[in-house]
Structure 1
Amino acid sequence: MAVIQQQTSEQNAPSNVPENVRPGAHPGARPSGQAKRPICPQCERALRACICACVRRVDCQTEVLILQHPAEVHHVKGSARLLHLCLPKSAIVVGEAFDANALQQHLNANGKTSVLLYPDSVVFGSTLVAKTGSVASVPAASSHQPGSDAAIRLVLIDASWRHSKQMLLQSPLLRALPRYALTEVPASRYQIRQAHAEDQLSTFEACTYALMQVESHNQQIGNLLQAFDAFNALQIQFGVNNLLRVKK
Structure 2
Amino acid sequence: MNDVIRRPQCITCLRPASHCICGCIRPVDDAGTGRAPVLILQHPLEVTNVKNSARLLHLCLPGSTLVTGEAFEPAALAALLAGPRRAVLLYPDTPGDRSLGIAPPPTYEPADAEELLLVVLDATWRKSRKMLYLNPALQALPRLALQDVPPSRYLVRKAHAPGQLSTLEATAYALAQIEADEKKFAPLIDAFDCFVGRLQAAEAAHRHAG
Where does the alignment leave 5 or more consecutive residues of structure 1 unmatched?
1-33, 122-129
1:69 paired residue number: 43
1:105 paired residue number: 79
1:190, 1:232 within 8 Å by CA — same for their partners in 2?
Answer: yes
User: Aligned-residue CA RMSD in angstroms?
Assistant: 2.1
> Alignment partner for residue 166 of structure 1, among 108, 114, 130?
130
**Residues 122-133 of structure 1 mapped to structure 2, 5 A cutoff:** 132=104
Q: Does 1:175 align with 2:100?
A: no
Where does the alignment leave 5 or more consecutive residues of structure 2 unmatched?
95-101
Counterpart CA distance in 1 for 2:105 and 2:16 is: 45
- Give 1:36 deviation, angstroms: 1.1
Q: Does 1:232 align with 2:192?
A: no
* TM-score (norm: length of structure 2): 0.86
- Give 1:217 deviation, angstroms: 3.6
Q: Does 1:118 align with 2:88?
A: no
- Answer with 235-244 or 35-44: which moved more: 235-244
**Residues 33-112 of structure 1 mapped to structure 2, 5 A cutoff:** 36-60=6-30, 61-109=35-83, 111-112=84-85
Counterpart CA distance in 2 for 1:244 and 1:157 is: 35
**Cα distance change of structure 1 residues 71 and 243 upon mapping to structure 2, 3 Å threshold:** farther
Higher relative contact order (CA 8 A, sep 6+): 2
Percent identical: 46
2:148 paired residue number: 184
1:213 paired residue number: 177
* TM-score (norm: length of structure 1): 0.74
- Give 1:183 deviation, angstroms: 2.1
The structure with the greater share of residues assigned to strand is 1
Note the alpha carbon deviations across 1:59-83, whole angstroms, 9 max, x for none.
3411100100000001000000000
**Cα distance change of structure 1 residues 172 and 116 upon mapping to structure 2, 3 Å threshold:** same
2:106, 2:143 within 8 Å by CA — same for their partners in 1?
Answer: no
- Give 1:35 deviation, angstroms: 5.7
Counterpart CA distance in 1 for 2:58 and 2:154 is: 17
Counterpart CA distance in 2 for 1:133 and 1:63 is: 21
